[in-house]
Structure 1
Amino acid sequence: MSLLTITTYAQTQKDTTKVKHLEEVVIATQKYLKPKKEIPQQVESISRKEIEFQNFQNTADILASSGNAAVQKSQQGGGSPVIRGFEASRILLLVDGIRMNNLIFRAGHLQNILTVDKNSIENMDIFFGPSSTVFGSDALGGAINMETKKAKLFSDTKKAFSGNALTRYSTVNEEKSIYFDLNYAKENWASLTSVSFNEFGDLKMGKNRNRNNPFFGEREQYIETVNGVDTYVTNADKYVQKFSGYTQYNLMQKLVYKQSNGNLHDLNFQFSTTSDIPRYDRLTDSNATGLRNAEWFYGPQKRILAAYTFNRDKAILGSDLKFTASFQNGEESRHNRRFGNYELQNRIEKTNAFAIDLDLKKKFTNSELMYGFESYYDYVNSTAYSNNIQTGETTPLDTRYPNGNNNMTRNDAYLTYSGKVNTKTSWNSGVRIGYTTLKSTIKDNSFFPLPFNSISQNNVTYSGTLGIIHNPGKNVRLVANIGSGYRAPNIDDLAKIFESGNNMVIVPNEDLEPEKTITADLGFTIKSKNKRFQLDHTYFYTRFIDAIVTGAFEYNGSATIDYNGSTSQVMANQNKGKAFVTGFSTNLKTYIIDNVLFTANFNYTLGRVVNEDDTYSPLDHIAPYYGKIGIAYDNKYIILEGYILYNGKKDLKDYLLNGEDNEQYAPKGGMPAWETYNLKASSRPIYGATVYAGIENILDTQYRTFASGINAPGRNIYGGLKYSF
């Protein structure tokens, strides 16, 4: 558990003793409801109280500021989490146990986590290492589950009406955020409604030198279109990252109904949308004459979730049953235009996903059996057009994905079992097997005249896990865990529309197979007898098998193809990559004296590609070492925390060049090390009200996180107010 998870629990507890001790963490997700100490897999949790105290800007910042995960940013409106060197489509995002990953999640950087309102999150669990046995495809490196607030019955709240109102302002981007939720409770049914609005202006970077490193990333000039003509404009303040602001709206509605026999029915509706979000890194790309792009922005990032969940105890063979049916609709788009070219290119993707999830749990005297079935169906509609911003004329344009029917199905069955060998030793095991299909058709191939118009494939998927927990003493815990993960190829892997460049054409490869990982974890936990000290340490080694990479290919027996009147080399995604990732993480927390808690964590990851000649080269997505050190004081009236966030240096020799590490957005030689100093506080001046205030990046240091294309925020002074009733 991270620092403020502990301090905020202490704030709300009644003081039955003057002695403070560390609290036990319970992992509560769609698949788990058990103490963390009973799970052999490394899991870190972030509570709602910590999220509220820290007053983060968006959901990605929750992870970045925890010290337990790295986050890449290409623009202010985003954030791509990295777990143990795996990112984007190779980690699984879930909200209320429902997978967010769809058939167009790409291998680069993703900002989809932005669409989950940070204020609606009850708790966030980060699962480290392969998690496919429990959660399914895409959980190669880990999974992040975000549990949102639930509608509470009268028996839980003792109030007919209850709710929260929050507001926040911050100086670094003139943020203005408002959130409100209302719970209406009856004995057998309840309703929870939440709404929020967030407005972020252009982000200011730090003004002070990062150690002896050169100044980097200042926005000297930008492009404006004046009277229909692109014009260079000198930035009045080079520390303001012009065209990085955006707005966001979120809505959530939940209903719960409890029958007299105890059966529970839940309805869950979530909606999120943004304004256009400028792709800041692309707006700073340069060429021989200046800035390359006059416009480059994502259209509104939209997400709709509608889900129904039914719970019944002792439903089948004495097993507790949980059934969920869900629908998700998403829309994302890309819009770009080069300087001096007045044709704005627009590519729009609309996704729909249907799913059913059946989970059953049977408890025995000293063991627990969990089993179930999942079925998913996804499809995407890809369209594109170009419009002249001067004349308004529109013309057809090649789509990002095939412009016909694109769909993917997943059907999985899983089983896990946990039990005790004796009073000191327990074990967990599990297996999952599934079958996926993927189909894609080209309705109009006039833009890309290739000699086929359909692609399809089928894959059998499987994974397993085995973990052992041994407690040689009351205050020592030893853990060993081995597990596998997989990711079935999606439309982005198989059929992203035949992009060409440098006389190369990428064609589909129907023989593409799932990527796989095998990971071994070893860890220990040491506690003091008085529960005022705890040290957790985990070492891991992951072998990446059948990794999907782009390379030379043959189509119809030929390594070249006649494409638009010229001979081009054939390329395709293939399963020929082998790599390993290894590292460790250490977490320490201890009460120095009553009410004063010290915490520190450190994470190190090393990743290498195994070449065909058995030599090694850097693997991308591998963040430098990072962590957090903090000290907090709390009593029932006030919480104070000072902490340091830090990252090590990423040398250019450790970059995978021309990959996803984005060396073009780093200073010469690689990304410098950095640290920020931060101070935060909260107090309860009157009943029901909580005041928050803080200063982030106190020294106003200018820095950029690894692989990012936008500078991090400079000194930020914020204030917030929460009122609960």
Structure 2
Amino acid sequence: MKTLHIIFFFILVSITINAQNVKVLNKITKEPIFGVAIYNVDKSTSVFTNFRGEADLSKFSNTEIIYFKHLSHVLKSLKKSEITKSNKVYLDSNTQGLGEIVISASKFQQNRKDIPQKIVSIDAENIQFSNPQTSADLLENTGKVYVQKSQLGGGSPMIRGFSTNRLLITVDGVRMNNAIFRGGNLQNVISIDPFSIQNTEVTLGSGSVIYGSDAIGGVMSFYTQKPKLSYTDSLMFNGNTLVRYATASNERTGHFDFNLGYKKWAFITSASYTDFDDLRMGSHGPKDYLRPEFALATSNGDVIIQNNNPLVQKYSGYNQLNIMQKAHYEPYEDLSFDLGLYYTTTSDIPRYDRLIRYRDDVLRSTEWNYGPQQWFMSNLQITKLSSKSNLYDKIKATLAYQNFKESRKDRDFQSPIRNIREESVKAYSFNLDLEKRFSQKTQFYYGAEYVFNKVNSSGIEENISNNSKVSSVSRYPDGSSWQSLAAYSSIKYKPNPKFVFQSGLRFNYVVSEADFTENNEYLNLPFDYAKNESEALTGTAGISWSPNPIMQWKFNLSSAFRAPNIDDVGKVFDSEPGSVVVPNEDLRPEYAYGGEVGLKLNFDDKLVIDMSTYYTYLDNALVRRDYSLNDETEIVYDGELSNVQAIQNASKAWIYGFEVGLKMAITNNLNLASQYSIIGGTEEAGDIEVPIRHVAPNFGNTHLVWNSDNLKLDFFANYNGDLSFNQLALSEIEKDYIYALDENGNPYSPSWYTINFRAQYQVNSSITLNASLENITDQRYKTYSSGIAAAGRNLVLSLKYSL
């Protein structure tokens, strides 16, 4: 009998101990949730769930109300006595999180259904699954952004027929575009570390009312990871490490990040390093893309070397380092301070498209490198989310400083002269954004912005035979400046859940100043100083209407502008062999006027069809055209007699397109998704209309995705239409060395497709494996206007360990 009493006692103790434990699970997936903060009303007692979602509640009394808080789930409160009945707590996912809420439309959170424009969101989970090598690849994976690459260290997005300085990039709400963003292809987006991104929002179409100049074709808004508070007196620590390898470029990548969270303070540190070797192209495709030979500098001079593997694109490799440090201070629930520091640097990046140019059947350049591309940003953001002020309910102030450094170093084959041009931009900005709710139906957004850019630029000719250096013409006028002052307002009227009207206005004043005194030693311009002042008033108006649960209509009209910057007003560079662009002080803003209609059909989330069509008219377009300097149409530049050109308000353009997307739930685990974009457009060139440079071919993708508890599989195809010789822009025809040749010997952009497979396996709560086999059939292709061929068959493996 005594033995039975002992057994009964141990059973009772065991039940009592187990009753003190809780397991926190996702309500839908039933998966354990790590890092849930569990605390009482006054936060005097707190614990965190472990990797199994478990926590010990013995510190709490049975009558206490206990709170369960997690970043990606809805806050829940329960009495301890209620919890111990089942020992399990289920939390609802924050369904109004990254998938439904957008920030970029007004600088404050809004439901995406209320926005008249089309906005594409990419969250951290999808970024991890797609495992992009750069942020340009991240954008391309959406299937709605087209990406051009002149070199492996590149990535110039195209959105609805616009590119480069007609698209805007923001990082944590700070404008990345600066005074020397050019009309030629840009690779600044690769400075953003994809491992540090929490979510990305891509606005398709104009964003000028909120973002001002440059936001003609779209806005790419990157939001990096936020430091996470523990909301208790206990330290919350978590972190991730990742290694990745890819065969096509022999890529080696390492990354780590960790978060320290306290009750009111939190810090996050992130660092990534990537090293790429020369990229291997595919085996099946146009022979025109092969790399049969390359120029090499030796101790005995420059020589031409036969490439023992023409599929390997010598020289294209480079490396990159990204570092981010952020701090978050939240003294009160509605008041927060955020400080962010970001730094990116690269090695020299060979500009591959220039290294494959020929002149008189001989490779033109032995060297053509972008020097280390460096970007530093510090930003301080103060946010107050509730106020009794008559002027605002929410207010956000952002102060930022950025420093951009870039250079170009090139040397012709067997020439002793290396041309070096170095640029730096210091960019200061201040944004004040406010929100005021007048009633349950009406919200008002307004704000102001000031931006100041200072440009420094130098030109050097270096003689490699004797190491002597002399000054030469710089790419931009040294010491030039660009300033922008703006005010905007936007109103949202939602009389009922089915209908939303939004409208806004923005006034912008932009001034640029440039002193050409130094460059006039080489150019003999008819002016020494230029000041360009621009004023612009832009607006937007749109509706979102859902007459029933299945159907949603969106309609939007907008105007946008781009003010001339220092690149337009003062640049000197060789645009292509035999042509040189010179400054032009007589420039005005270019304006875009557009409309968009969208229809979304949602059949109980089992089948979703999303369609939209758009049209944009670009007036006073800033384009590169033939020009005369002191009545001369040719000048000597870098030792070559070159045709004179300049940026001018010399064109009009018409761009139109249609997009359709489909999502279908075949079973609970199997889903089909597909996206296709059709784009067209022409511009004026004298008395005729010609194709536009940045109108991409028709393109799309189709994904078949299997998703279970620990395993996710994606079998997908990317496909791309062709552009015939007659469909190429005039500036592209002049770059025939990057294109395939048709049966008549004319350049054209062939169609292509790739078949791909991707898998992610969650080994346990700490270890995640990713594997991709891209371009399975080893196709040899180039995305439109790209100088470098895309990767051939490519195996990508990554291992992530989470603490």
Q: 1:431-470 counterparts in 2 under 5 A?
A: 431-444=505-518, 445-470=520-545
Q: Which amino acid aligns with 2:419?
A: Q
CA deviations on 1:573-616 (whole Å, 9 max, x unpaired) are 32231110001111110110111010000001001114554x42
Answer whether contact 1:448 1:498 (CA < 8 A) is retained: no
CA deviations on 1:128-149 (whole Å, 9 max, x unpaired) are 1111011111011111011110
TM-score (norm 1): 0.93
The 1:155–1:660 alpha-carbon spacing in structure 2 relative to 1, beyond 3 Å, is farther
- C-alpha distance in 2 between matches for 1:651 and 1:564: 34
Aligned partner of 1:375 in structure 2 is 450
Q: Which amino acid aligns with 1:181?
A: D
CA deviations on 1:219-253 (whole Å, 9 max, x unpaired) are 11111111151011111211111110000001000
In the TM superposition, residue 395 of structure 1 has moved relative to its aligned partner by 1.5
What SS class does the counterpart of residue 658 from structure 1 fall into?
helix
Q: Which amino acid aligns with 1:716?
A: N
- C-alpha distance in 2 between matches for 1:498 and 1:684: 51
- C-alpha distance in 2 between matches for 1:12 and 1:666: 50
What SS class does the counterpart of residue 521 from structure 2 fall into?
coil
- Of the three residues 656, 664, 668, the one matched with 2:729 is 656
Mind listing any 5+ residue stretches in structure 2 that lack a counterpart?
1-27, 34-88, 743-747
- C-alpha distance in 2 between matches for 1:500 and 1:312: 48
- C-alpha distance in 2 between matches for 1:335 and 1:620: 26
- Of the three residues 286, 289, 311, the one matched with 2:383 is 311
RCO higher in structure (CA 8 A, sep ≥6): 1
The 1:411–1:174 alpha-carbon spacing in structure 2 relative to 1, beyond 3 Å, is same
The 1:194–1:215 alpha-carbon spacing in structure 2 relative to 1, beyond 3 Å, is same
Answer whether contact 2:240 2:802 (CA < 8 A) is retained: yes
- C-alpha distance in 1 between matches for 2:575 and 2:282: 39
- C-alpha distance in 1 between matches for 2:610 and 2:386: 37
CA deviations on 1:423-451 (whole Å, 9 max, x unpaired) are 42211100000111100002422112224
Q: Does 1:27 pair with 2:99?
A: no
Q: Which amino acid aligns with 2:584?
A: N
CA deviations on 1:682-718 (whole Å, 9 max, x unpaired) are 1111221111111000011111110000110000111
- C-alpha distance in 2 between matches for 1:158 and 1:148: 25
What SS class does the counterpart of residue 136 from structure 2 fall into?
helix
In the TM superposition, residue 452 of structure 1 has moved relative to its aligned partner by 2.3
Aligned partner of 2:156 in structure 1 is 80
Aligned partner of 2:612 in structure 1 is 538
The 1:34–1:262 alpha-carbon spacing in structure 2 relative to 1, beyond 3 Å, is closer
- C-alpha distance in 1 between matches for 2:577 and 2:119: 45
TM-score (norm 2): 0.84
In the TM superposition, residue 278 of structure 1 has moved relative to its aligned partner by 0.2
Aligned partner of 2:75 in structure 1 is none
Q: Does 1:646 pair with 2:646?
A: no
Aligned partner of 1:4 in structure 2 is none
Deviates more, 1:351-360 or 1:158-167: 158-167
- C-alpha distance in 1 between matches for 2:540 and 2:766: 46
How big is the alpha-carbon RMSD for the aligned residues of Structure 1 and Structure 2? 2.6
CA deviations on 1:95-122 (whole Å, 9 max, x unpaired) are 1111111000000100000100010011
Deviates more, 1:281-290 or 1:69-78: 281-290
What SS class does the counterpart of residue 231 from structure 2 fall into?
helix
Aligned partner of 2:7 in structure 1 is none
Q: Which amino acid aligns with 2:647?
A: N
- C-alpha distance in 1 between matches for 2:435 and 2:654: 35
- Of the three residues 779, 792, 801, the one matched with 1:701 is 779
Q: 1:119-268 counterparts in 2 under 5 A?
A: 119-155=195-231, 160-209=236-285, 214-260=286-332, 262-268=334-340
Q: Which amino acid aligns with 2:137?
A: D
CA deviations on 1:195-228 (whole Å, 9 max, x unpaired) are 111001110000124xxxx433111111111115
- C-alpha distance in 2 between matches for 1:568 and 1:388: 22
- C-alpha distance in 2 between matches for 1:467 and 1:84: 19
In the TM superposition, residue 497 of structure 1 has moved relative to its aligned partner by 2.7
Q: Which amino acid aligns with 1:381?
A: N
- C-alpha distance in 2 between matches for 1:509 and 1:286: 30
- Of the three residues 322, 335, 351, the one matched with 2:425 is 351
The 1:446–1:611 alpha-carbon spacing in structure 2 relative to 1, beyond 3 Å, is closer
Q: Which amino acid aligns with 1:371?
A: Y
Aligned partner of 2:758 in structure 1 is 680
Answer whether contact 1:11 1:636 (CA < 8 A) is retained: no
Q: Does 1:716 pair with 2:794?
A: yes
CA deviations on 1:495-515 (whole Å, 9 max, x unpaired) are 113869999875543331111
CA deviations on 1:537-567 (whole Å, 9 max, x unpaired) are 0000000111012345677xx7558978999
Answer whether contact 2:119 2:204 (CA < 8 A) is retained: yes
- C-alpha distance in 1 between matches for 2:517 and 2:416: 28
In the TM superposition, residue 681 of structure 1 has moved relative to its aligned partner by 0.5
In the TM superposition, residue 313 of structure 1 has moved relative to its aligned partner by 3.0
The 1:72–1:338 alpha-carbon spacing in structure 2 relative to 1, beyond 3 Å, is same
Aligned partner of 2:85 in structure 1 is none
What SS class does the counterpart of residue 283 from structure 2 fall into?
coil
Answer whether contact 1:357 1:372 (CA < 8 A) is retained: yes
What SS class does the counterpart of residue 155 from structure 1 fall into?
coil
- C-alpha distance in 1 between matches for 2:669 and 2:233: 29
Q: Does 1:69 pair with 2:145?
A: yes
Aligned partner of 1:5 in structure 2 is none
What SS class does the counterpart of residue 351 from structure 1 fall into?
strand
Q: Which amino acid aligns with 1:684?
A: Q
Identity of aligned residues (%): 34
Q: Which amino acid aligns with 1:464?
A: G
- Of the three residues 352, 357, 360, the one matched with 1:280 is 352
Answer whether contact 1:662 1:708 (CA < 8 A) is retained: no
CA deviations on 1:287-313 (whole Å, 9 max, x unpaired) are 114111000000000000001111113
- C-alpha distance in 2 between matches for 1:207 and 1:157: 59
- Of the three residues 532, 543, 550, the one matched with 1:475 is 550
What SS class does the counterpart of residue 375 from structure 2 fall into?
strand
Q: Does 1:425 pair with 2:499?
A: yes
CA deviations on 1:163-215 (whole Å, 9 max, x unpaired) are 11111011111111011111111101111111111001110000124xxxx43
- C-alpha distance in 1 between matches for 2:255 and 2:549: 44
Answer whether contact 1:620 1:660 (CA < 8 A) is retained: no
Give the count of matched residue pairs: 705
What SS class does the counterpart of residue 700 from structure 1 fall into?
coil
Aligned partner of 2:656 in structure 1 is 582
Pair member with larger Rg: 2
- C-alpha distance in 2 between matches for 1:499 and 1:77: 21
Aligned partner of 1:621 in structure 2 is 694
What SS class does the counterpart of residue 180 from structure 2 fall into?
coil
The 1:270–1:157 alpha-carbon spacing in structure 2 relative to 1, beyond 3 Å, is farther
Answer whether contact 1:516 1:547 (CA < 8 A) is retained: yes
- C-alpha distance in 2 between matches for 1:661 and 1:151: 49
- C-alpha distance in 2 between matches for 1:545 and 1:362: 35
- C-alpha distance in 1 between matches for 2:642 and 2:410: 26
- C-alpha distance in 1 between matches for 2:446 and 2:528: 40
In the TM superposition, residue 474 of structure 1 has moved relative to its aligned partner by 1.2
In the TM superposition, residue 314 of structure 1 has moved relative to its aligned partner by 3.6
Answer whether contact 1:413 1:432 (CA < 8 A) is retained: yes
Deviates more, 1:48-57 or 1:692-701: 48-57
Answer whether contact 1:266 1:309 (CA < 8 A) is retained: yes
Aligned partner of 2:767 in structure 1 is 689
The 1:485–1:431 alpha-carbon spacing in structure 2 relative to 1, beyond 3 Å, is same
Q: Does 1:117 pair with 2:190?
A: no
Q: Which amino acid aligns with 2:722?
A: K
The 1:591–1:506 alpha-carbon spacing in structure 2 relative to 1, beyond 3 Å, is closer
